[in-house]
Amino acid sequence: GQQLNQSPQSMFIQEGEDVSMNCTSSSIFNTWLWYKQEPGEGPVLLIALYKAGELTSNGRLTAQFGITRKDSFLNISASIPSDVGIYFCADGNQFYFGTGTSLTVIP
């Protein structure tokens, strides 16, 4: 089946720092999704990307649809403690989810 690899697997950063993570797939996607999961809860959709090269922002979050259509990137600027969680990429049909990037923000 489809494989979505995310890196890094985990990040420990100081509050205020910027964060970058990425996701690569084994095949071309037409839509990329980014989710955040907090402890004890289900994932919540953050951003959806629909076109190669597209750059979309949601507050301090910015995501990009890679031009090869096999990768996507998520950046968080000026991190705060509530950014803690696991971030997942997914295909547009939500059939496949990435391996996740665990983010810890140190106050």
Kindly list the residues in this chain that would bind another protein in the complex (CB under 8 A): 30-31, 33, 40-45, 48-50, 88, 91-100
Between residues 7 and 77, which has the closer beta carbon with respect to another protein?
7
Sheet holding 61-65, edge to edge: 4-7, 19-25, 71-76, 61-65, 55-58
Between residues 2 and 68, which has the closer beta carbon with respect to another protein?
2
User: Taking the complex as a whole, how short is the minimal distance between the CB of residue 78 and another protein, in angstroms?
Assistant: 26
Between residues 94 and 104, which has the closer beta carbon with respect to another protein?
94
The angle subtended at Cα 75 by Cα 98 and Cα 57, nearest 5°, is 105
